[in-house]
């Protein structure tokens, strides 16, 4: 394994329960299984802009108050020690992502946000990361927490691993913590 790609919300960051994203979608009557930026298309253009403005403000507020998932720093250190590339691949926007990275003093070899390509579940950002590092699909894994992460990895042909949240019990392989994921990678001789 030469690279590990990470999702941000509910993967690097401690999951929030109840989910502010689900609350936002319910407030606006948006489909639970769609991205906000897709779900708002049913609204007139002016209302779409108002919803996006509120959504972006929520993302910024959540980024500022986000807590790092316990064990992420140790996982990232183990990857660096083994000369494994890391990439952060998030559907969040660039400004919120920068806030999280600065707040928690995190460094990745590559950071891609929804401004860099079609967001997950599309595979575009994962494929862009492979291209950036000049890697084949089997040389990277993706660590996420959601159905969208699973779909993006599957479409990109990249093996996926999932960190547990209160709502993703159906995803596999699923690890309760970054520490258990690290042990799993070591046992599978991926690290």
Whether residues 172 and 159 share a domain: the answer is yes
Q: What is the pLDDT of residue 37?
A: 85
Torsion of CA 54, 59, 60, 64, to 10 degrees: 140
Whether residues 29 and 119 share a domain: the answer is no
Q: What is the pLDDT of residue 127?
A: 98
**How far is C-alpha 58 from the chain's CA centre?**
17
Whether residues 39 and 127 share a domain: the answer is no
Whether residues 53 and 116 share a domain: the answer is no
**Cα–Cα nearest to 7, from 78, 84, 92:** 92
Q: Contact 69/178 with Cβ under 8 angstroms?
A: yes
Whether residues 168 and 79 share a domain: the answer is yes
Number of domains composing the chain: 2
pLDDT in tens, 138-156: 999 999 999 999 999 999 9
Alpha-carbon distance of 110 to 90, in angstroms, equals 11
Q: What is the pLDDT of residue 38?
A: 87
Statement: residue 105 has pLDDT above 90: yes
Whether residues 108 and 175 share a domain: the answer is yes
Q: Is 139 exposed, middle or buried (0-12, 13-18, 19+ CB in 10 A)?
A: middle
Distances, alpha carbon 131 to alpha carbons 60, 122, 135, 173, in Å: 29, 16, 6, 25
Whether residues 109 and 166 share a domain: the answer is yes
List CB contacts of 80: < 8 A, sequence separation 6 or more: 86
Whether residues 181 and 158 share a domain: the answer is yes
Here the CATH number for the domain that contains residue 134 is 3.40.50.1000
pLDDT in tens, 42-98: 899 999 999 999 999 999 999 999 999 999 999 999 999 999 999 999 999 999 999
Domain extent, residue 156, equals 3-15+67-187
pLDDT in tens, 10-34: 999 999 988 899 999 999 999 988 8
Whether residues 40 and 113 share a domain: the answer is no
Q: What is the pLDDT of residue 18?
A: 87
């Amino acid at each position: 394994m030469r690279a590990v790609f990470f999702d941000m919300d509910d993967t690097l960051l401690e999951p929030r329960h109840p989910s502010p994203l689900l609350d936002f979608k319910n407030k606006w009557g948006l489909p639970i299984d769609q991205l906000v930026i897709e779900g708002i298309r049913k609204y007139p253009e002016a209302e779409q802009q108002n919803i996006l403005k509120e959504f972006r403000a929520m993302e910024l507020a959540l980024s500022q108050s986000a807590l790092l998932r316990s064990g992420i720093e140790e996982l990232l250190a183990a990857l660096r020690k083994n000369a494994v590339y890391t990439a952060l691949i998030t559907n969040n926007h660039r400004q919120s992502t920068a806030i999280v990275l600065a707040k928690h003093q995190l460094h990745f070899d590559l950071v891609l946000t929804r401004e860099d390509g079609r967001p997950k579940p599309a595979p575009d950002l994962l494929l862009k990361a492979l291209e950036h590092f000049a890697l084949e699909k089997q040389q990277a894994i993706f660590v996420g927490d959601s159905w969208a992460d699973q779909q993006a990895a599957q479409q990109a042909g990249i093996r996926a691993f999932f960190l547990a949240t209160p709502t993703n019990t159906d995803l596999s392989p699923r690890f309760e913590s970054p520490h258990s994921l690290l042990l799993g990678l070591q046992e599978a001789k991926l690290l």
